[in-house]
Structure 1
Amino acid sequence: MASLTCRADCTHPANHRHLRFVWLYFTTVNLSALDLNLLLVFHTVLEEKTVAKAAAKLHVTPPAISNSLSRLRAVIGDPLLVRRGRGLVPTPRAQELAPRVATALRELERAVGDDRTFDPATTRRRFVLACSDNDQIASVPHLAATLASEMPLAQLHIVSIDQLKASDGLAAGIVDAAVVPTAASHADVHAEPLYVDHGVLVLRKGHPIRAPRLSRAQFNSLRYVDTWIVLGRAGVGTKMMDAFLHRHGLVRNVAVIVPGFAAAAMIVATTDLAVGMPMRVAVQLAKHLPLRVAKIPAPAMPIEMQLVWHARTHEDPGAKLFRALVADAFRDKPRR
């Protein structure tokens, strides 16, 4: 949370009335649709007068600020801030709320204090991780077991990469960390390499093609299950895979399209269809289904993955421990 300033003495009994007012007001709207981050954004935009300056102060993107304001407007039923020239001015409703929200936020900040201690054994914090379908199968079970041991009262919430992209989750503070393909760095985002995987072919046990490495003719003769991986843009994963195969004279004749690897594996286990997927998830699925892994007739295409998190949580003790547990669970050779 950004440091907030409040001229009033928040310990004075009169100021507790502000906190009660904010609580009573929002319980008359839709408290389930509200989170405190929306009030913090509202307060900061009022202070800074522009979305851009508020975004810089909170270390998020301007679209994330605009999205938060839209959500708060929907909850309250008032525009709150309207554009005038290059800045924003508050509506009468916003002017009524502003001093009380400022005092309430300050009171909450004082209640939390600056104590940076964190007890893994007693924390009930919810940690949110965004990762792909294949990582959810290959690595999240290990992470869940480790978290249960290290932070037994904490909660793990897994969301998809698509949800991360749609909500600008890191900047908006919706997720604590994400496991994503290695890409160019971004301001206010930290990154740590996790693992390098590669694609393989998965067939059912007893499939007519038994070779451990398929020939080009064998590969092109098969029909395939396609996993429609979005990664923020519909079908981008499929397009990347097909472009790679085309460079090596390989073509997939797609019979079925599904949104994830678990469904694809279930289909392949009971048909003569084949599916391509990362090695890590293929090995895990083959432990539970009658599947075997084969090599494709092309050089291995490296799949480099990294752990990313926002600068806002970089020094947070709980977030640091959570990231260490994620890295431990997702790396090729876990340290534990």
Structure 2
Amino acid sequence: MNLPDLNLLVALEAVLAEGSVAGAARRLRLSPSAMSRTLARLREATGDPLLVRAGRGLVPTPRALELRDRVGPLVEAAAAMLRPVVPPDPSSLVRDFTLRCSDGFAESFGPALLRRIADEAPAVRLRFMAKTDKNSDLLRQGRVDLETGVLGGGQGPELRIQALFGDSFVGVVRPGHPLAQGAVGLAAYLAARHVQVARRDQGGGPVDAMLEAGGQRRDVAVTVGGFAPALALVREMDLVATVPARHTAALRAGLIEFPLPFAVPALSISMLWHPRNDADPGHRWLRELLRSLCAAQTPSGTVSTPQSS
């Protein structure tokens, strides 16, 4: 496909706006002879003389009059595309964003995020999409704008990644559970009945991996796919859930947490996005908002910690 010289659009806009070769030459900083040659090219490209002599001046043809109303906005729109992006005023931003995250992240950070959006960008709408696996194809397909979670093996090298906060595991039980009083040792932890959080692609996760590395095994009574159902079960039964502290702060309100009696590597919660959105000003605003919120917010659940007796 042979495209015409699109620089001719700029020359056409100048010629039609000025109504003379000399005026167009001054506007474009060309010599009169160079502008005359450009006009000849425009006449050849459009198949129309565009400007014709009438007495001592030039007048536009009907085709030129038709083009004059169209070429100005077209040249301005093209110029706007090639200008550096100006950061938007969030108060005038009208946009829908989809954030794919776990239930725990949505419950712990969602209210503060929505409050900030309502204050800064009231016309922005946010959709939370449940994260059931670590596959990030939805980011690549453009169906998700932003994703949060612990990095796994399904991201792909092209995705952009930024750490949001670190997290560590704690044990959680309901008030009145035998482990709610005093320090919890390894034997008592292993003897208790547990609710395990595991996705199909994760196996038992880092908690069970660390126990198995030491030749230990906990008594798993039930396995669920997320922290929210795990903690819902803990509220009603004498079960132990082992969950990330910050990630589940809102979900753990009113429950008892205790330090684990064995070491589990800390987690790093990150946000991910596709490079297509890297320079998009609205997307950059949302990323910075989420980053600053996660950096500032501390766990807000009403949680007590058992003391040594």
After TM superposition, the score normalised by the length of structure 2 is 0.64
Q: Which residue is 2:20 aligned to?
A: none
Q: Which residue is 2:274 aligned to?
A: 310
Q: Measure the CA separation in 2 of the matches of 1:196 and 1:257.
A: 25
Q: Which residue is 1:141 aligned to?
A: 111
2:148 to 164, 179, 198: 179
1:261 to 227, 233, 255: 227
Residues 215 and 235 of structure 1: CA distance in aligned 2, closer, same or farther (over 3 Å): farther
Q: Which residue is 1:191 aligned to?
A: 161
Q: Measure the CA separation in 2 of the matches of 1:251 and 1:327.
A: 37
Q: Measure the CA separation in 2 of the matches of 1:161 and 1:286.
A: 20
Query: Secondary structure of 1:195's match?
Result: strand
Q: Which residue is 1:209 aligned to?
A: 179
Query: Secondary structure of 1:284's match?
Result: coil
Q: Measure the CA separation in 2 of the matches of 1:175 and 1:164.
A: 13
Residue 128 (1) aligns with residue 128 (2)? no
Residues 219 and 249 of structure 1: CA distance in aligned 2, closer, same or farther (over 3 Å): farther
Query: Secondary structure of 1:200's match?
Result: strand
Matches within 5 A, 1:321-332: 321-331=285-295
Query: Once the two structures are superposed, what CA deviation does each residue of 1:110-153 show, in whole Å capped at 9, x if it has no partner?
Result: 69x62745332122211111222321222222212111111111
Query: Once the two structures are superposed, what CA deviation does each residue of 1:178-200 show, in whole Å capped at 9, x if it has no partner?
Result: 11324688543222121110111
Query: Secondary structure of 2:223's match?
Result: strand
Q: How many aligned positions are there?
A: 224
**Percent sequence identity over aligned pairs:** 28
**Residue identity in the other structure for 2:111:** P
Structure 2 unmatched ranges of 5 or more: 7-73, 299-309
Q: Which residue is 1:286 aligned to?
A: 252
**Residue identity in the other structure for 2:286:** F
Query: Once the two structures are superposed, what CA deviation does each residue of 1:262-302 show, in whole Å capped at 9, x if it has no partner?
Result: 22212111211111110114432232xx3100111112421
1:213–1:296 Cα contact (<8 Å) kept? no
1:162 to 124, 132, 136: 132
**Residue identity in the other structure for 2:138:** G
Q: Measure the CA separation in 1 of the matches of 2:209 and 2:243.
A: 15
Q: Measure the CA separation in 2 of the matches of 1:200 and 1:220.
A: 14
Q: CA deviation at 1:247?
A: 2.1
**Residue identity in the other structure for 1:190:** R
Q: Measure the CA separation in 2 of the matches of 1:180 and 1:220.
A: 28
Q: Which residue is 1:152 aligned to?
A: 122
Structure 1 unmatched ranges of 5 or more: 10-106
Q: Measure the CA separation in 1 of the matches of 2:282 and 2:226.
A: 31
**Residue identity in the other structure for 1:326:** L
Q: After the TM superposition, which of the residue ranges 298-307 and 248-257 deviates more from structure 2? A: 248-257
Residues 302 and 164 of structure 1: CA distance in aligned 2, closer, same or farther (over 3 Å): closer
Q: CA deviation at 1:306?
A: 1.5
Q: Measure the CA separation in 1 of the matches of 2:276 and 2:93.
A: 20
CA RMSD between the two structures:
3.0
Q: Measure the CA separation in 2 of the matches of 1:262 and 1:180.
A: 15
Q: CA deviation at 1:239?
A: 3.9
Q: Which residue is 2:304 aligned to?
A: none
Query: Once the two structures are superposed, what CA deviation does each residue of 1:81-133 show, in whole Å capped at 9, x if it has no partner?
Result: xxxxxxxxxxxxxxxxxxxxxxxxxx9xx69x627453321222111112223
Residues 163 and 144 of structure 1: CA distance in aligned 2, closer, same or farther (over 3 Å): farther
**Residue identity in the other structure for 1:201:** G
Q: Which residue is 1:224 aligned to?
A: 194
**Residue identity in the other structure for 1:161:** K
Q: Indicate the structure (1 or 2) with the bigger Cα radius of gyration.
A: 2
